[in-house]
Amino acid sequence: MSNRLKTSRIAAWLAAVSLGMPLAGVLPAGRAAAAPLHGPAKLSLAGQQQRLSQPLVPTPLSVADRAASRFFPSQWIQVEANQQHDPVFVTRPGAPGFLTRGTFWGTPLTGNEFWRLARAFSRYPDAQAWGAEVAQWLGNVMGVSVVDGIVYVEESRSEIFALDAATGLPLWHTSTVNCLMGDPLVANVGGKPMVFVAAGDVAFTRQHAVDYANQGHPPGPTVRGADFSAVYALNGLTGKVVWRFDTKGEDMPTPVLKNGDLFFSTGDGHLYAVNAETGREVSAFSNPGFSSMSSSNWYETANHQLYIIYGTQDPNYLMAVNETDPAHPVLAWEYHVPHSFNTGNGDVPPAVDPKRNLVITDSLINQAPPGAKPELNLDVVAVNATTGQLVWSRLAGTGPIFPVAFKGSVPMIHGGNVYVGDLMNQTLQSYNETTGARNWSTSLAQAGNPFLNEPRGGAVYYDHHILEASGPFIFTLDPRTGAIVNKFRTPGAYVWGITSPVIVGGEMYLGSISGWALALPARYVMTRAGFTGEPYGPRAFHPALRVRPPSYFNPAALPTPAQAAAFPSTWTAYAGNAEHDAVVNRGPSGVAWQAALPGALPLNAPPRDSSVFGVPTATTMTELAFGAGSGVSPANGILYVGGEDHTVNAYNAITGQLIWRSPTINGNFGQPLVTPQAVVVSSGDPWFNFGGVVKFAAGDQTVHLGASFQNLHGYDPRTGELKWTFYTEGTDMMTPVYYNGNLYWVNGHGDVWALSASTGKPVKAFLNHDGNPKLHLPGYVAIASPNVYLQGGSPILVVGTANPGRFYGINLATDSVAWSTTVTTAPLYYTGFGDVSPAVDPRRHLLVGDVLTNPGSGNTATLEAFALDPATGRVLWTRDLGTGPVPYGFTGAVPVIHRGTVYLSDPISGSEVALSAASGAVRWQAPLAGAGDTPPVVADGAVIQPAGSALVVFNAANGALRHVLPVGGAVVDNGAVLAGQTLYLGNAWGWVMALPLSSVLGTAAR
């Protein structure tokens, strides 16, 4: 099926069942609306789309709500509320009407971002792959927790909401450092209401992938989680952070709260025990592998031993650790599912039946012989909870579907039966818990539904029926026969991931992958086909989402016409021009200011989690979480800054006042381009998902870089209104080049894209019949921004790739490869040519770049500079600059060409280097502490090199040190720009600053 046809199908499906706005109250006849669904929509949705947004104004619980709280669960201490994974709660007499008769509300916690991300659908192989990324990076994954009249909703967009259970109105909101994908735990600890959430992501860094390739399979990578990860304790009344426990790997699984301690397995291969009141580490038990989404469970033996039970992958084990004395954990038992495959036990939260002394889990297995095409099945197993011995094992069956992302099903136990889903054939199945005999298997597949009904989430038992949320449906089944009694189709904003419904009294609460939360009567769901025909039914979906306003706009901060006229009117390439010499004559005489992006670290602070990762690794991670992108762009009196904190920012370049800020779904590493039509910012990440890690390790050249949504945004330069967004399959961290009204770049999938800067639409001549680029290069580009060389009027786009490492010249007039070269016969470091942006000297007909070669033991390599003829790809010269250990995060230095000399920093030799552009001969080499990837600025006979926490100034002619100006924080990939007599710089700590050139050079009056 073509991408265009797939897109039309998803649009048609959404049009049929979607909500453009939150649902209005659908009420039983004769009842007044206690809280219509449009109430929560009055929130500032744009403001909610910041990764690090301001807290919501609390909505106090009413007196009636406070009285009703005693009819709710009083705590939530594990995933799905209890050991059996059946979160259904019977209310006592006297419960309020909204619990007994039910009420309706829906709260659009993520605004319309779900529909905006639907524009990316054509870049994915199917709805499942698209939906998985929506769940992993935007919305709710596992469902909600409901305690004391409050609904707690985790969002993978790094935030948690507390909602009034009666109305859906938000009480408080807190942002976290990474994605939230579990159930919030809620309990009274030390006399205080506390909420516990675990933050982590699904991604792997390229270093993780290299480790995986070097170690083989098994064992696999020892760490999962590319960004910072942490477990938080929050004040239950306000959402304020009480303590935070940081880990080296992701914290996606939901912890267990027992006996005053939190227990959680992580992506760094440990089961941690942490004091719930203080956050102090009690112990860290080493696992054979890491846990992905396998939330822990617990079991108390007959002799009162506390076992924490969970799964790991690479290798795949079901683990039980004796935590009776949390300070001295001991392995109780481990069970390996034969032929377990891929994420195996590492994804599935095991269920426990304490009465029958059983642990139930399931695992994807591969029945094919080694080397053959996988033949997948789902193995449902029961083991003795005390000994770990196998009690029974049953194959649930195979099917045509290869599951993506979460590759298992959350088992649920009720009344001596196990309920579990099989993703490969879209069935929900029931087994006798004691014998393993299958009671029934029911297909949930629905013709014409682009979202497969893969029952990942746990079923629940309510009112003598089984309810299962899957795809856009909630199914009601007869628990004796498996017959489908009712099929309730939910609106398009409500698509279920690994969601288990929560039922309190007669009210059902759910969270969806869109990030919207929903409450409605359980009996309504069990007896209706959906909201169709109701007086407040779904409103028509309108796929043409128009201009989105920024989350912040202060028109009073806009520059005056005179201020705007003092700056260049455009900024159309990385580092400003082909030579990367980011110097423009037009600009202010010398201004000074500092501004902090949301979440910025203090300038005198160490990198985040330096005690966990070490300073080098933590510095790179801090940049990718909070930094100011690869460069700032001054134009028309405004300084544009892409934030890795998922924001785009515009400051008055004279005063430093924030003009506008707009949120994005991913980090904004690319330097903003200011074109006559729009400000263009490129977004993406430099990470793999697990499938990408496996492909990379196997040398598969079809692997793409980028784990989340990758895109370009076009903004109105003065107002920050989002004019267009364009999505691609691979990372778009690099800065495109603007030429003749179009944007050109090669992304993390090796696709050669051409896009109209004014409309965000792809240039048709570059597309095939399927709507994808005609020209695809083997391998990928990570952060290397392309350049353009004009050969007799024919533009040649020059850029390099990794996996395999090769350099290309692409004729933009014909959309064809003009030339390609390996440059060197030496073996390349894993980053290849995909990380360094080449500089071009059009007057001397030179292309200059550098690459890491001859990788050796101990992570050593040689930095090799080179020059090519950009018209033919002929190698003109190469120069080895130094050999030694490669600092973490260093992938090559961006060169600058200035008047026949190439300048770059070399952290391997710890020096600033000047080379002859004509021959590559070393003109001078000077010691430089803190050297990194960043290009220098050359002006007034000086080389200004951002390095570490300072600006280091050298004499351009001989390399003599002239001045060092400490600026705080650290600079990693953040390039400086000189406009007039003011140097503009963003750094890895999330700060933006303007510095008078005289201060930088050390010539200011003292």
pLDDT, tens digit, 9 for 90 and up, residues 494-512: 889 899 999 999 999 999 9
* CATH assignment of the domain containing 694: 2.130.10.10
- Cα separation, 520 vs 509, in Å, equals 7
- Exposure string of 621-635, with b = 16+ CB inside 10 Å and e = fewer, is bbbbbbbbbbbbbbb
- Strand, coil or helix: 523: helix
Name the residue range of residue 977's domain.
Answer: 552-1001
Has residue 486 been placed in a domain? no
Select from 953, 937, 946 the least CA-distant residue to 989.
Answer: 946
pTM for this predicted structure: 0.92
**Which has the higher per-residue pLDDT, 706 or 791?**
706
pLDDT value at residue 46: 28
pLDDT band at residue 22, thresholds of 50, 70 and 90? very low
pLDDT value at residue 7: 41
Average pLDDT of the residues of the chain = 90
Which amino acid is located at 543 in the chain?
Answer: P
Q: Taking residues 462-472, report their average pLDDT.
A: 96
Contact 730, 685 (CB under 8 A): no
pLDDT band at residue 60, thresholds of 50, 70 and 90? low
pLDDT of 371 over the 90 cut: no
pLDDT value at residue 535: 33
Has residue 271 been placed in a domain? no
pLDDT of 574 over the 50 cut: yes
Contacts of 232 (CB under 8 A, 6+ apart): 174, 176, 196, 197, 198, 199, 241, 243, 244, 245
pLDDT value at residue 2: 46
**Which has the higher per-residue pLDDT, 16 or 665?**
665
pLDDT value at residue 182: 97
Has residue 562 been placed in a domain? yes
- Cα separation, 338 vs 212, in Å, equals 22
pLDDT of 359 over the 60 cut: yes
- Strand, coil or helix: 100: helix
pLDDT band at residue 221, thresholds of 50, 70 and 90? low
- Cα separation, 748 vs 803, in Å, equals 11
DSSP lists the bridge partners of residue 273 as: 263, 283
Has residue 992 been placed in a domain? yes
pLDDT band at residue 935, thresholds of 50, 70 and 90? very high
Q: Is 765 exposed, middle or buried (0-12, 13-18, 19+ CB in 10 A)?
A: exposed
- Cα separation, 147 vs 565, in Å, equals 58
Backbone dihedral angles phi then psi of residue 898, each to the nearest 5 degrees: -140, 110
- Cα separation, 776 vs 796, in Å, equals 16
Contacts of 616 (CB under 8 A, 6+ apart): 887, 888, 889
Has residue 346 been placed in a domain? no
Q: How far is CA 823 from the centre of its chain?
A: 34
Instruction: Look at the chain and report how many structural domains it folds into.
Output: 1
pLDDT value at residue 546: 53
pLDDT of 209 over the 60 cut: yes
pLDDT of 53 over the 70 cut: no
pLDDT value at residue 40: 28
Has residue 620 been placed in a domain? yes
Count the Cβ atoms, other than its own, within 10 Å of residue 557: 16
Q: In the numeric block, which tokens belong to residue 535? A: 């007086």
pLDDT value at residue 741: 96
Has residue 979 been placed in a domain? yes
pLDDT of 47 over the 80 cut: no
Contact 433, 360 (CB under 8 A): yes
SS (H, E, C) 769-795: CCCCECCECCCECCCCCCEEEEECCEE
Has residue 47 been placed in a domain? no
Q: In the numeric block, which tokens belong to residue 183? A: 């159930």
pLDDT value at residue 220: 52
pLDDT band at residue 49, thresholds of 50, 70 and 90? very low
pLDDT value at residue 548: 75
